Amino acid sequence: MAAIHLSFDEPIPTDCLGGAATIGNFDGVHRGHQELIAETIRQARNFNGSAIAITFDPHPQQLLRPESFQPVLTTLAERGRLLEGLKLDHVVVLRITPEFLRLTAREFFDRIISKGFQARAIVEGFNFGFGRGREGDGALLQKLGEEAGVAVALVGALEFEGKPIATSRIRGELLAGNVVSAAAMLGRPYRLQGKVGVGQKRGQKLGFPTANLGEIATLVPGNGVYAVRVHHENKSWPGAANIGPNPTFGEQERKAEVHLIGFQGDLYGASLTVDFVERIRDTRKFSGAVELVEQLNRDVAAASRVALATESGSSCGTPTPKFGGR
C-alpha cells in the first residue's frame, strides 16, 4: 500500500469514502498515535468501511510560523511507512496551502470530514485542534458530528511516567539525550538517517574509523556518546555514535559520527540508518589522543555490552505507557 497524495480540494478516491478516519500530523507515529490508529480500525470495522489516516504536507507550522518550526522526528516518507505498517487501509497525505489553513473549524469539518471523505466515524486524541487557529476542539467536534451523523470517538491521553505522550515531549527527551525514555514513548528506538560524507579521518588514524553523517532531515539528539545499531544494505552492526563537537582537537562544529563495531569497508557516499539505544556519556575534552583512545575503547566496550543485552532482551524493561483520565 502506497500513501495517496492529494491537494485538499481534489476529489477523494472512492475506496477512501464512507469509512473511519483519524486526522493529524502524526510526527513520530508514537504510541499515542498508535492508539488512535487502533481505534480507527475498530471503528471502521463497525461500519464495514475503510480505516484511513489523514496527514499533511507540509507541516502546518511551516506555513503558519516558519520561524518557530522545530525539526521533525520523522520525514514524510518514514511517517507514511510507519502508518502503513499499522494495518490501515489507506494513508492520505493532504498537500495544504494558506487557503486550507484559513478554513474555520466548521468549514474544515464540512469540507474534509463530512463531504470530502464522507466519514462515518472520526477518531481523535485528547489534544485535537482543528480549523483556523485551532479554534475547534473535541467538544466542537462531537457537536458537529452529532449534527452530521458522524460518530466521534475521542481517545484519552496515553501516559508515560505520569504525563501524556506527545511529539513535543519526545523531542525534549531526545534533545536531553534521554533516548531510552523517547523509545518507550515511540514504541521503538529513535531513528536517524543520513549520508556518509568525508570527514577529517581522525578516527581512522586513532583506530576507530567513523562515518560522518550528513543530509540529516530530522531532529538530531543532544550531544553525547550513544550506543546505537546501524543498518546498511539489509545488514546491521552495533555501534558507538558521537553527537556534538570534538573539543579535544579544538573543533566546535556539531557533527554526527558513527563507529560501526566489526565493520570493515568503505562507507563514503552510503546511506545509513542509525537507531539510538542508550546514552553512554557526555561529550567532553580530553588531554590528548592517548586519553581519548583509552576512552574510545571504553565507549566501544560499553556499546557492545548494550547491543548484546538488547539482542538477548535483558534491557527491554522500559515502563509501559498507561491511559490517563480525561
Task: Judge whether 79 and 43 are in contact, CB under 8 Å.
Answer: no
CATH topology of domain 189-312: Elongation Factor Tu (Ef-tu); domain 3 (2.40.30)
Mean pLDDT value across residues 136-142: 97
Give the whole-angstrom CA distance, residue 285 versus residue 155.
Answer: 48
* Continuous segment of H or E residues that includes residue 259: strand 251-260
Beta bridge partners of 168: none
Q: What is the pLDDT of residue 324?
A: 55
Residue ranges per structural domain of the chain: 4-160, 189-312
Mean pLDDT of the chain: 90
309 phi and psi, to 5 degrees? -65, -40
Q: Kindly give, in sequence order, each residue whose CB lies less than 8 Å from that of residue 317, ignoring residues fewer than 6 positions away.
A: none
145-203 pLDDT, tens digit each: 999 999 999 999 999 999 999 999 999 999 999 999 999 999 999 999 999 997 655 55
55-83, pLDDT tens digit by residue? 999 988 888 888 888 999 999 999 999 99
323, exposed or middle or buried, with CB in 10 Å at 0-12, 13-18, 19+?
middle
Which CATH architecture is the domain 4-160 placed in? 3-Layer(aba) Sandwich (3.40)
Q: Which amino acid is at 63?
A: L
Beta-carbon contacts of residue 91 (< 8 Å; ≥ 6 apart): 1, 3, 4, 52, 53, 55, 80, 83, 84
Whole-model pTM: value is 0.91
End-to-end CA distance of the chain: 35
